[in-house]
Amino acid sequence: MRTFMHGAAVWDVACPQRPSSVAGLTMAGFRVRDLDMLRMVPHPAVTLLLEFGAGSPVLDCAAGRQQRGSLVAGPGLGTGGTVRARGKNVECVQVRLSPVIARAVLGASPADLDGTVVSLADLWGREASQICEQLGDVSSWQDRFAFVDALLARRYGAGSPVDPEVAWAWNRIVGSRGVARVDGLAAEVGWSRKRLWSRFRSQLGLPPKRAVKLVRFDHAAHRLVAGEGAARVAADAGYADQSHLHRDVMEFTGETPATVASEPFLAVDPIAWPSRGTPAKSHLSRVSGSIADSR
CATH number at 14 reads 2.60.120.10
| Nearest of 53, 82, 84, 83 to residue 70 by alpha carbon | 53
151 and 24 in one domain? Answer: yes
In this prediction, residue 275 carries a pLDDT of 75
| Nearest of 36, 98, 34 to residue 275 by alpha carbon | 98
Q: In terms of residue numbers, what domain contains 114? A: 2-158
Has residue 276 got a pLDDT over 90? Answer: no
Q: Which of 101, 131, 158 is the last residue of a domain?
A: 158
Give how many domains the chain has, as a whole number: 2
Check which CATH number belongs to the domain holding 243 and give it.
Answer: 1.10.10.60
In this prediction, residue 36 carries a pLDDT of 87
Has residue 278 got a pLDDT over 60? Answer: no
| 161: Cβ contacts below 8 Å, ≥ 6 apart | 101, 103, 104, 167
Has residue 43 got a pLDDT over 90? Answer: yes
142 and 13 in one domain? Answer: yes
Q: Are 123 and 71 in contact (CB under 8 A)?
A: no
Average pLDDT, the chain: 90
181 and 131 in one domain? Answer: no
If pLDDT is split at 50, 70 and 90, which confidence band does 288 have? Answer: very low
187 and 145 in one domain? Answer: no
Q: How many CB atoms lie within 10 A of CB 4?
A: 18
Task: Provide Rg for the chain, Cα atoms.
Answer: 19
85 and 13 in one domain? Answer: yes
Q: How far is CA 142 from CA 14, 27, 28, 127, in A?
A: 8, 11, 10, 21
Specify the pTM. 0.90
H or E, element range at 10? strand 9-14
232 and 86 in one domain? Answer: no
Q: Which of 116, 143, 158 is the last residue of a domain?
A: 158
Taking the CA atoms of 228, 98, 42 and 265 in sequence, report the sign of the dihedral they define.
negative
What value, to the nearest 5°, has the Cα angle with vertex 8 and ends 7 and 14? 90
Has residue 90 got a pLDDT over 50? Answer: yes
Q: How many CB atoms lie within 10 A of CB 97?
A: 25
Q: Are 21 and 148 in contact (CB under 8 A)?
A: no
Average pLDDT of span 188-217: 94
113 and 201 in one domain? Answer: no
169 and 154 in one domain? Answer: no
If pLDDT is split at 50, 70 and 90, which confidence band does 115 have? Answer: low
148 and 174 in one domain? Answer: no
